[in-house]
Amino acid sequence: MPIVLVTDSTAELAPERVAELGVTVVPLLVVIGDECFEEGAPEATPEAIAAALRDKRPVTTSRAAPAVFAETYRRLAAEGATGILSLHVSGEVSGTVESATLGARDAGVEVRCLDTRQIGPATGFALEAAAAVLAAGGRLDEAEEAARRRADATTTLLYVDSLEYLRRGGRVGGAAAVVGGVLAVKPLLTIRDGEVVPVAKVRTAARAISRMEALAVEAAGDGPVEVVVAHLDAEERAGELAERIAERLGDRLVAPVRCRELGAVLGAHVGPGMLAVCIAPVIG
């Protein structure tokens, strides 16, 4: 068995893509009221999360325990893995990479745990970069470096109807600067140094989304690029945004713009109506 890849469920890769890459996904946990579910369980769908948030029911999330990662790594080692690259959501917003690092101590095989300093689809793009290196016969350190470079080159932009959900979960980071005016503005955010920080304060949703579209096109640059548009309970608006971005980027896109609903864990922290654009330039 060759070097294998592990990630957590916030990487937002479609199940068919996970199977294609041969990635092992460790689910994070969602707590709705007093019931705890693994992300991906039928009770913890994006629809269920959006409904719970709208109904003002308590929704929290939790990382997987170090023991879960240790068990995963040991299983992969027993199956013949010669090394493991484990890529995870930013340590500034989640303790997941800490759990992975602790679990790696008892793996029985070399494990590299990488904090991508990103969230959502950006972590997925880093994972795909590592998978491409490994598929070409690359070494563990080469795959790790490819993942790091792709994550560093990727831009994530987020529009939220309200900062309230980020504030509740303590994930707002530098965006706290706009909380005081949350009722008067529509926040536009990005990920910088692993934290959620503000990009702009815009007075209306339409202007915020238009600004996000412009920033996404700017971040794409002049070379080949991949893009994901994600949403929570905003399918129509996300589809329209994806179409506009695809039209503006044209043949710079190496694949169609992917449009998908955000998973339960990340969705719990951004709330219904959220839109995100992840722009990943292709690195040679």
Give per-residue pLDDT as tens, 138-179: 999 999 999 999 999 999 999 988 777 776 655 554 444 444
pLDDT tens string 52-61: 988 888 898 9
SS3 157: strand
Q: Do both 117 and 169 map to the same domain? A: no
Structurally, the chain folds into a number of domains equal to 2
- Number of other CB atoms surrounding residue 118 within 10 Å: 28
Output the pLDDT for position 170.
53
Say what the pTM is.
Answer: 0.91
List the domain range (segments joined by +) for residue 133: 4-28+63-153
Binning the chain into helix, strand and coil, the percentages to the nearest 5 are: 45, 25, 30
- Six-digit token string for 262: 């955000």
243 lies in a domain? yes
Q: Is the pLDDT of residue 44 over 70?
A: yes
CATH number at residue 139: 3.40.50.10170
57 lies in a domain? no
238 lies in a domain? yes
pLDDT tens string 72-120: 999 999 999 999 999 999 999 999 999 999 999 989 899 999 999 999 9
Q: Do both 8 and 117 map to the same domain? A: yes
Q: Among 182-186, 215-219, 237-241, whose mean pLDDT is lowest?
A: 182-186
**Distance separating alpha carbons of residues 275 and 182, to the nearest angstrom:** 17
CATH number at residue 268: 3.30.1180.10
Q: Do both 128 and 265 map to the same domain? A: no
Q: Is the pLDDT of residue 205 over 80?
A: yes
pLDDT range class, residue 185, cuts 50, 70, 90: confident
User: 119, 153, 187: which is the final residue of a domain?
Assistant: 153
Output the pLDDT for position 168.
65
- Burial state string for 221-234 with b = 16 or more CB within 10 A and e = fewer than 16: eeebbbbbbbbbbb
Q: Do both 270 and 185 map to the same domain? A: yes
| Neighbouring-strand partners of residue 38 | 29
Output the pLDDT for position 161.
80
User: 112, 134, 153: which is the final residue of a domain?
Assistant: 153
Q: Is the dihedral of CA 115, 117, 121, 122 positive or negative?
A: negative
Q: Do both 144 and 260 map to the same domain? A: no
**Distance separating alpha carbons of residues 106 and 44, to the nearest angstrom:** 30
- Number of other CB atoms surrounding residue 55 within 10 Å: 8
